[in-house]
Amino acid sequence: MKMSRMGVKPEKMPPKDAETVNHKLLVQAGFVRQLMAGVYTYLPFGLRVLRNIEKIIREEMDAIGGEEILMPMLHPAEIWKKTGGWESIDVLFKLKSRTDRDYALGQSQEEVVTPTMKEFIKSYRDLPKMPYHIQWKFRDELRSKSGIMRGREFLMKDMYSFHLDQTDFDRFYAIAKAAYLKVFSRMGLDAKVTEASGGSFSEKISYEFEVLTDAGEVNILYCGSCEFCANVDDLSQYKEGDKCPKCGESKLKPSVAAEVGNVFDLGHKYSRAFDLKVATSTGESIYPVMGCYGIGVSRTMGVIVEKFHDDKGIIWPKNVAPFTVHLIDIKQGDRAQQIYQLLQDNGIEVLWDDRDINAGIKFSDADLIGCPWRVVVSEKNVSANEIEVKTRQNNEPEMMKVESFISKLKSD
């Protein structure tokens, strides 16, 4: 992508009203724009990052048997009345049509997926089933000051599972938990899994996936020696300084964290509400056990920025970066064009700053935008056909042949 063609350029200063790092940097670097508190436009750079995050999630959900669908955002009130959510869920956005009918904007999709799957799940032979989708959600959140980490409109991956019995559910629950850890580690995030706790849905077991960051809203206690982690907002049997109940090695440390995902055992709540029953092998008619599995796609993008930045800008982990290479030419248009082409022909995603502006601005914008590699094409070493290469974190550039750089990226 050429920067001159985008119509989106990095700003000199972050927005004045921004309270969090992700909000400041994402707006300043040209990834997003805020329409109102908790509602954002994703500009070309931002959309690329969102798509990269989605891709990782999609691959890992498909790998454990998930089947991608796309459910609507506009829901009839009746399905929410059926489960009691119409009255009990305070964040549910409600609206009326011209003909005085009531509707809700999807804040989650159990009420849609359960009656839909009822058509396809009739007997034990149809189980298990794991439909998922990646769709915008709407929630009437009171506080939306954490940039894209708490949206009133936000992108979520939500998977739902249907199982014949608790044993099969437990088997899949463990698989989903492992897949979640893989998703976050592919994005460069170290997610801690909170000890099982009952969720708001029922007394069933849930796990939260927490990333340590001051920009988060969850108070946790964790062990420095093993993976033990507990949400202290609803699990108050632990306190700071306690010996780790799991390994006994270290004392529990407090931290603030952001919840990037969670998984819930829904039990029979929704299958019962929508009377989704299956025939067992012995001919009995029973309610399947359901689970739900959420990941905050847009929140995760914000968390990544909170974790990976310095005073110059964002430092994207390579798997989610908007581009692998940020190409800067210093009055070397033709040669830069050739290198831009060559890198792209080799499947490398390149952002070319071809703007006719001061080189200093190009350098500071490259740091702000935060692509993993910076390549400078200047008069230096034209005869040796070399380029200047540097990673975003490293301050020492090195000269290299274009071909060697391409092989290095391919083997990375």
Under the rule (CB under 6 A), what is the footprint of ligand ATP? 108, 139, 141, 150-151, 154, 156, 259-262, 294, 296, 298-299
Q: Can you tell me the distance from the alpha carbon of 60 to that of 66, in angstroms, rounded to the nearest whole number?
A: 9
Cβ of residue 333: shortest distance to ligand ATP, in angstroms?
A: 42
Cβ of residue 88: shortest distance to ligand ATP, in angstroms?
A: 14
Cβ of residue 160: shortest distance to ligand ATP, in angstroms?
A: 12
Our CB check for ligand ATP shows the closer of 150 and 192 to be: 150
Q: Can you tell me the distance from the alpha carbon of 48 to that of 357, in angstroms, rounded to the nearest whole number?
A: 25
- Do β-strands 325-329 and 373-377 pair in parallel, antiparallel, or remain unpaired? parallel
E strands, 187-298, where?
Answer: 192-193, 197-198, 205-212, 218-222, 229-231, 253-267, 278-279, 285-286, 289-296
Our CB check for ligand ATP shows the closer of 267 and 372 to be: 267
Cβ of residue 4: shortest distance to ligand ATP, in angstroms?
A: 33
Our CB check for ligand ATP shows the closer of 169 and 180 to be: 180
Q: Can you tell me the distance from the alpha carbon of 238 to that of 218, in angstroms, rounded to the nearest whole number?
A: 15
Our CB check for ligand ATP shows the closer of 260 and 377 to be: 260
| Cα distances (angstroms) measured from residue 19 to each of 11, 33, 39 | 17, 14, 15
Cβ of residue 70: shortest distance to ligand ATP, in angstroms?
A: 17
Our CB check for ligand ATP shows the closer of 10 and 261 to be: 261
Say if residue 128 is preceded by a cis peptide, omega within 30 of 0. yes
* DSSP sequence for 369-403: HT-SEEEEE-STTTTTTEEEEEESS----EEEEHH
What is the token pair recorded at 210? 């927490």
**Nearest partner of 252 among 237, 267, 264, 262, judged by Cα:** 237
Our CB check for ligand ATP shows the closer of 139 and 392 to be: 139
Cβ of residue 49: shortest distance to ligand ATP, in angstroms?
A: 15
Q: Can you tell me the distance from the alpha carbon of 365 to that of 367, in angstroms, rounded to the nearest whole number?
A: 5
Q: Can you tell me the distance from the alpha carbon of 329 to that of 355, in angstroms, rounded to the nearest whole number?
A: 9
Our CB check for ligand ATP shows the closer of 40 and 405 to be: 40
Cβ of residue 80: shortest distance to ligand ATP, in angstroms?
A: 15
Residue 186, phi-psi category: left (phi > 0), alpha (psi -120 to 50), beta (remainder)? alpha
By Cβ distance, which residue is nearest to ligand ATP? 296
Residues 6+ apart with CB under 8 A from 360: none
Our CB check for ligand ATP shows the closer of 262 and 332 to be: 262
Cβ of residue 153: shortest distance to ligand ATP, in angstroms?
A: 8
